[in-house]
Amino acid sequence: MPTLHVLVAAYSGDPPTTLILQAEEFIKNIKEACREKLVLLLGGYRGLMKHIADIALREDIDVVFVIPTAYEYDYYPENSIVVKSGLGDRERSSILVRSADKVVVMGGGLGTIFEILLAQSYGKEVYILLNTGLPTDKFTEFYQEKVRDPRFPLKAYYASSGRELAHLVCRE
């Protein structure tokens, strides 16, 4: 069975409850919708990423953390894989994006926006949850046809729910 490596880029701060519920909906639906074995890639065990990891591990989905030096002394669940990159946040993000088959954005700030742009520059498909109340919601305004870089074809898909996001990621 092939393996689908999905980077879930998400907020490292305290997420709103509605976003945690969307993350749970996404994880449960991606497990059902995808035919491949799933591996979720995360940049840390903080904020929304912590909730996503806990939900995924409860659902028996493999979780791999690729962490920057600043996160090396954080706690990580025993049944996860932790890669200590020895790098800063931005450099570590490049490893995460390049290791992913698809990039899912569950809402975030500057670091998550940076990962969206990295994914676009690498030609990766990006799936963005809308209406999170976080700065990534503004991406649709920024990435209009008139400001898009013509050297990098836009491969961004937008969803209004965790369920819709999962089904977009898993479509054939």
pLDDT tens, residue by residue, 123-135:
888 999 999 999 9
Nearest to residue 135, comparing CAs of 8, 11, 6? 11
Q: For residue 26, count CB atoms less than 10 angstroms from its CB and return exposed for 0-12, middle for 13-18, buried for 19 or more.
A: buried
- Does the pLDDT value for residue 65 go beyond 90? yes
Tokens of 102: 């698809």
- pTM to 2 decimal places: 0.93
Q: If pLDDT is split at 50, 70 and 90, which confidence band does 151 have?
A: confident
Residue 144 has what pLDDT?
59
* Domain map (residue ranges) of the chain: 3-170
| Domain at 3-170, CATH from 3.10.180.10, 3.40.50.450, 3.30.70.20, 3.40.630.10 | 3.40.50.450
Residue 24 CB neighbour total at 10 angstroms? 18
118 pLDDT more than 60: yes
Query: Nearest-CA neighbor of 41 among 11, 58, 61, 71?
Result: 61
The answer, yes or no, to whether residue 159 has pLDDT greater than 60, is: yes
